[in-house]
Chain A
Amino acid sequence: MMAFDSRAVAIIVVALGTTGCWTGQLIESARLHERVRTYERIAVVGEEIHLDYTAEVTTRLPDRDDDRTFDAPRPSKLRGAVFPLSEMTVVPEHPVDAFPLERTAFGVREGQALPIVIEPEVAASPRSKATDLGFTPPILETPSLQTNPPASVVARVDRRDGRHQGFRLCSTTGDPCVGYFYSAALYDDPLAWWVYPAAPFAVALDIAMLPFQVLTLPVLLVVSD
């Protein structure tokens, strides 16, 4: 009986000690991914753009190289954001993870909503590293948005799943549409609520198993390339 218990304990220790950091895995499994599905309302208020949008919420990121369309409805949230109008035409453009925007509640509904037009589908270009990543080159003509106030929005759509990838602003004067706002700037990755009560247990487990994990790490490396 004692031998069996020792073996069982050894197996459990090995199993726990070779599976990496439990706290980290817990946090990653609780991470949600919020990405823009559609823009519901875009308005210019003074020198600012006010956005209302629907964000789809997933527990894992879709594979960018996956050409399947995603017809299944996904959970969604209603979100809002505001940013200075001038930031859309900054050259060089802001990286999406550093775009100066402020998240707000959905449905503030200030200003006059601009009509949202879906950009006509453009001919497919040869696949490149950039297009493989879903990257669409920005359009950076820069007529003044102050002298030609935007009258409509042209949204670019991901043909695979219908998500709004970004938009440009267009005036009524026939000038080219200006700037480009990447929906990627609105990506968010909050944690599910249940991670907080579960985290102390994972931390305790990791504290107990850490020495064993450090010791077994080189052994695991041996079996791979």
Chain B
Amino acid sequence: MRRGMQTCHARTSGIDRYCRTRARLPVLFVSMMISLVGCANPLSHSLSNPLPRPAFDFDRDTFGYTNENYWIYDLDSDSPGPIVKQKREDVDHGQRCTIMARAARQFWYAARFEPDAPKLADADYHDIVKMVLASNPRIDEPLDPPIIIPGYADLRSLSVEREAVLKEALGGRWIGYFQRGNWRMIFPFSPGQKRATATELVEDLDRGHLPLVHVFNYPRIDINHTVLLFGYDATALVISFDLYDPNNAEDSGSLVYDRETSTFSYWRTDYFAGGPTNVYEVYDGFRF
């Protein structure tokens, strides 16, 4: 109950501040009413006893547009040495994998879509999206009360129809450069640490939490990516994680943990040839 009240006050003050600057009074009013109702009825929406919710659905809970690559990679080349790549022209939404993967999780935890409610203007959706993004990115339980998104059934339909609004609201690519956990890239990952990471990811998914993971091969920069895990399949030999890759709105991807050698392998994409990578969880605790 106390946690619910604190969340509500924090969000209310955030809304006030935001709406003073933007003067979006209708959104402010609706949001405050929703927040106040949530505060007045904490028992039915207790964080420690969250309402049943459907599992993460790739076709509904991800963005309808993609993070773009700045380069075109020739991954089928047999030539030795670095992968050949060409600069891509007219990229206006690149290096946003971190913010998109993070936002997908924030929408999943913090937002509730109400498709039967009337649609709002772009500016109102911009403000609502900003509210979702202002929620704690390290949250691991549904926000109570949730932020209501009227007029759409899910993130997919919202982002397809209001792509420009979401891109503008999500902002620049600096979040990826200065993500708090980036320091971890510098240091080695022992087999025991990789095993612990795989175990923690499975435990997260078992309790219904969606881990955000940084996938990279620093100091090589053949991959430097952030994805959202939402399921897994385990055998005696491997754990295959299902993931949302912000670069791909059509298909889910896979990250495979090999129990024998304690190695992660990222799937083949149009920007990575597939193979071993380092992995750690981000937006997880104080240090990451």
- CB distance B186 to A21 under 8 Å? yes
Q: How many residues of B contact A (CB 8 A)?
A: 41
In the bound complex, residues from chain A placing their C-beta under 8 Å from that of B190 are 27
In the bound complex, residues from chain B placing their C-beta under 8 Å from that of A18 are 219
- CB distance A33 to B185 under 8 Å? no
In the bound complex, residues from chain B placing their C-beta under 8 Å from that of A93 are 236
How far apart sit A217 and B188, CA to CA, in the bound complex (Å)? 15
- CB distance A24 to B238 under 8 Å? no
* Partner of B183 from A23, A25, A217 at Cβ < 8 Å: A217
Q: Which residues of chain B (214-235) have a CB below 8 Å from chain A? A: 218-219, 221, 224-225, 234-235
* Partner of B258 from A27, A133, A189 at Cβ < 8 Å: A133
Chain B 254-288: CB-based contact to A (< 8 A → 1; otherwise 0): 10101111110000000100111000000000000
How far apart sit A103 and B219, CA to CA, in the bound complex (Å)? 35
In the bound complex, residues from chain B placing their C-beta under 8 Å from that of A53 are none
Q: Is A47 an interface residue (CB 8 A)?
A: no
- CB distance B188 to A21 under 8 Å? yes
Stretch in A94-102, A113-121, A151-159 touching the partner:
A94-102
- CB distance A133 to B256 under 8 Å? yes
- CB distance B236 to A129 under 8 Å? no
Q: Is B191 an interface residue (CB 8 A)?
A: yes
Which of B69, B224, B260 is most buried by chain A, counting CB atoms within 10 A of its CB?
A: B260
* Partner of A20 from B71, B219, B224 at Cβ < 8 Å: B219
- CB distance A218 to B236 under 8 Å? no
Q: Is A220 an interface residue (CB 8 A)?
A: yes
Q: Is A108 an interface residue (CB 8 A)?
A: no
How far apart sit A28 and B69, CA to CA, in the bound complex (Å)? 30
In the bound complex, residues from chain B placing their C-beta under 8 Å from that of A27 are 188, 190
Which of A35, A64, A138, A224 is most buried by chain B, counting CB atoms within 10 A of its CB?
A: A224
Q: Residues on B close to A: CB < 8 A?
A: 69-71, 94-95, 176-178, 182-183, 185-191, 195, 218-219, 221, 224-225, 234-238, 240, 254, 256, 258-263, 271, 274-276
- Beyond contacts A21-B186, A61-B263: 13 other A-B pairs, Cβ-Cβ < 8 A, are A21-B188, A33-B261, A61-B261, A95-B237, A97-B260, A97-B262, A133-B237, A135-B235, A135-B237, A182-B236, A187-B261, A217-B185, A221-B182
